[in-house]
């Protein structure tokens, strides 16, 4: 079942690329942007995350923390983050707990028959932990609406 706008965001604890645990509920008091993406080092994922990197001031100006989440290992995400100079945290959902909780897990990824890859999805969570924006992209090649994300963040401040 998809996460509905107005629902309490499912909590999770995942490790970031620096091997630190990050718990969503501990970010209360800040707006949070969750960006689930299929796989590091792929063209569309790189374009998506580099767009956020290049526009990070827009997120920072809205009291928002951006978290990129994929099923890649934290070691892969560390290399990806460094190579792309990403200026926000990447979290490893290697065990697929967060992707399952947010209902954004492909049973079979459209390319290469891989099992258990995250769908491209975006969620904006307000300072109280309530989902204010939810978008699951129809295909892995689609990008989320950065304008929709920004408009939602602007409405929260």
Q: What is the pLDDT of residue 14?
A: 98
Q: How far apart are CA 31 and CA 67, in angstroms?
A: 11
Over the chain (157 residues), what is each successive 10-residue block's mean pLDDT? 89 97 97 96 92 95 96 96 97 97 86 83 97 93 95 93
Q: What is the pLDDT of residue 114?
A: 74
Token output for 112: 């290469």
The dihedral through the CA atoms of 121, 124, 29, 85 has a sign that is positive
What's 4-18 look like in SS3? CCCCECCCCEEEECC
Is 137 marked active-site?
no
Residue with tokens 């998809």: 2
Q: Which of 9, 32, 45, 124 is flagged as catalytic?
A: 45
Domain ranges of the chain: 13-155
CATH class of 13-155: alpha beta
């Amino acid at each position: 079942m998809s996460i509905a706008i107005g629902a309490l965001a499912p909590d999770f604890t995942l490790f970031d690329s620096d091997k630190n645990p990050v718990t969503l509920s501990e970010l209360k008091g800040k707006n949070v942007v969750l960006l689930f993406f299929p796989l590091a080092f792929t063209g569309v994922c790189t374009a998506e995350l580099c767009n956020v990197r290049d526009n990070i001031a827009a997120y920072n100006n809205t009291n928002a923390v951006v978290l990129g989440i994929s099923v890649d290992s934290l070691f892969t995400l560390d290399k990806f983050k460094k190579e792309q100079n990403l200026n926000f945290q990447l979290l490893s959902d290697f065990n697929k707990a967060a992707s399952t909780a947010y209902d954004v897990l492909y049973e079979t990824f459209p390319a290469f028959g891989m099992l258990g890859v995250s769908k491209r999805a975006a969620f904006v969570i307000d300072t109280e932990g309530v989902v204010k924006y939810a978008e699951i992209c129809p295909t892995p090649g689609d990008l989320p609406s950065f304008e929709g994300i920004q408009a939602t963040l602007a409405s929260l401040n």
